[in-house]
Structure 1
Amino acid sequence: MAKKKTKATSKKAGKKKRVSARPTRVAKKKIGYDDSALRLIATLQYIPTEAPGVTTAQINEMHNQHGGEISLRTTQRDLNSLEKIFDIKKSGKKSPRWYWEYKQGIAVIPAHDQFSALTWNLLEQYLEPLLPWPMRSSISPHFATARHVLEQGSTPRLDRWRSSVRIIPSNLQLRQPRVEESVTRIVYEGIWHGEQITLHYRKRGADSTGRYDIDPCGIVVRGNIVYLVGRVHRRDTIQQFALHRAESAAFSGREADIPEDFDLDEYIREGNFNYVQGEEVDLVLRMDNYVAQHLVECPINETQQVVPAGDNECEVHVRVVDTQQLRWWLQGYGSRLRVLAPDSLKSWLREEIETLQDYYARE
């Protein structure tokens, strides 16, 4: 009898040993929804960043689609618990819809430390003015979170850093013109979905708007201006439309007809945003060494060469395309720079100077 008892005991012990190895493997498969903490994180991820939001049933369905077989009641309890901690809000009573309200920014996991919050804060100061309006609204909760972290965790070292870093523009900085948010939304969605857009657009200097059915080819942000690059319906040429001059936008109901050979990068490389005035030229400039030091440190392009010219002066040789942007740049140096070649640019500068002389002589 003792032997049988011992044998039975060893079998029982063996069975326990085999069972004890299984839970880890099983738990790994179901950890996404058996673990309530991870289920709550997933719930937060399913809540959209702005109104009108999603219903409790929709969130529950998203859980089920991702392998979490949980009840609608469980999802309701989770949302009610999360509402007490996070900035999520529900609208309506009968079938409430949930969305983020962002009183203190977005909940970031992992949370910001002071260094990452500082990085976002710098991005807000110097990048946000360049962003189109819809992009600003989508990223603003991240900026708000970073500000909140910095305000709550202020230290002498952090304050010293924030007061010791600045970025300033190299040229006169103009304010960004206001673009109707509905216009930008339609334009961006039209490009995304490949749909033709109808713009009511006022050309520069025009007294009234005109209607344009446009096949949108791309968006280009140049300085503080956002341009739609596209082709007016049944025309061959690609044109540019500054979005702040559009009064309204809508979908025309037609699919966009984009030229198969169109390439936005090639379009830019061809100089379409530099207002080309002529062909590629061999530009030769003479200036004093002090002024030329800027070009030595920041060359125009890889063809640039700087050679001594005596009397504390030098010559700059570079091959460039003759553009309106180049001409504005040359004018900016005034009398501290002389154009030696090509003759076309010398003649243009001479005419500009004579026009200015006549203008000021009449005063």
Structure 2
Amino acid sequence: NNRAATWTEKIAVVQPTLPLIAPTIAHDILETIQESVIKQQQIDVVYRAAHNATPKKMTLHPLALVQRGLVTYVVARVNSYADNRLFALHRVEEVVLTKRPANIPPDFNLELYIASGALHFGNGEQICLILRVNDWLKKILEETPLSTNQKITLKKGVILVEATILNTPQLEWWLLSQADGLEVLEPIELRKKIAERLLGAARQYQ
């Protein structure tokens, strides 16, 4: 009926992050990499890493494609190495699809790979995070917990949040973004790291 037909016009998804513009991927590069994943064939690429201004030639064994926010990545193995890595498609400057079959590990599972935290660019380490938070952040975390085992307690007028969570750069970014509403108590190493980042940021305004 007409009401059902207009249903999609009444639903929207809005990201709560700063709306950056997606990087540009050359159409021919995107198509070639997609084809390599489907056909399970090696690709020879020229890739410019974010931390290195000099592009490098390498052979990739593509395993899967993943969209993380605005950036598309190909999960692949490099040359004869046995570890799975991420390559942003917009940093691929040249690509050639070969006839050589890709080395696809039989136990590779994309869902498990994502669950390992690889897309958060951390080391997959689980930590016990303990925070002191203000009342406003307490309400936010009650509605949207950090983890399934999150605990919120009140001790001597102090609100404490405890959660087991992956130690990732994304966690650090979140802690920094909420810095005026929380204090990292544990782990000590993370507390020191956040404190150093905040002190460094404060110096920019002196």
Give TM-score, length-normalised by structure 2: 0.89
Q: Which residue of 2 aligns with 1:324?
A: 169
Instruction: Indicate conservation of the 8 Å contact 2:76/2:84, yes or no.
Output: yes
Q: Which residue of 2 aligns with 1:185?
A: 31
Q: Which residue of 2 aligns with 1:276?
A: 122
Instruction: Indicate conservation of the 8 Å contact 1:217/1:258, yes or no.
Output: yes
Instruction: Indicate conservation of the 8 Å contact 1:279/1:322, yes or no.
Output: yes
Q: Residue 120 of structure 2 aligns to a residue in which SS?
A: coil
Deviating 4+ runs (over 6 angstroms): none
* 1:217 equivalenced with 2:63 (yes/no): yes
Aligned CA-pair RMSD: 2.2
* 1:295 equivalenced with 2:184 (yes/no): no
TM-superposed CA distance for 1:113, in Å, is 4.8
Cα distance between partner residues in 2 of 1:166 and 1:221: 19
Instruction: Indicate conservation of the 8 Å contact 1:213/1:252, yes or no.
Output: no
TM-superposed CA distance for 1:349, in Å, is 1.7
Map residues 20-35 of structure 1 onto 2, 5 A cutoff: none
* 1:315 equivalenced with 2:204 (yes/no): no
Structure 1: gaps of 5 or more residues:
1-111, 123-161
* 1:175 equivalenced with 2:21 (yes/no): yes
Cα distance between partner residues in 1 of 2:87 and 2:124: 23
Query: Larger Rg: 1 or 2?
Result: 1
* Cα 1:249/1:116, change in 2 over 3 Å: farther
TM-superposed CA distance for 1:229, in Å, is 0.4
Greater relative contact order (Cα 8 A, min sep 6): structure 1 or 2?
2
Cα distance between partner residues in 1 of 2:125 and 2:117: 11
TM-superposed CA distance for 1:355, in Å, is 2.1
* Cα 1:321/1:207, change in 2 over 3 Å: closer
* Cα 1:117/1:200, change in 2 over 3 Å: farther
Cα distance between partner residues in 2 of 1:335 and 1:195: 50
Structure 2: gaps of 5 or more residues:
none
* Cα 1:346/1:278, change in 2 over 3 Å: farther
* 1:347 equivalenced with 2:192 (yes/no): yes
Give TM-score, length-normalised by structure 1: 0.53
Q: Residue 180 of structure 2 aligns to a residue in which SS?
A: helix
Q: Deviations over 1:293-337 (max 9, x none)?
A: 0110111121101112354x5211111121111111100112211
Q: Residue 354 of structure 1 aligns to a residue in which SS?
A: helix
Q: Residue 338 of structure 1 aligns to a residue in which SS?
A: strand
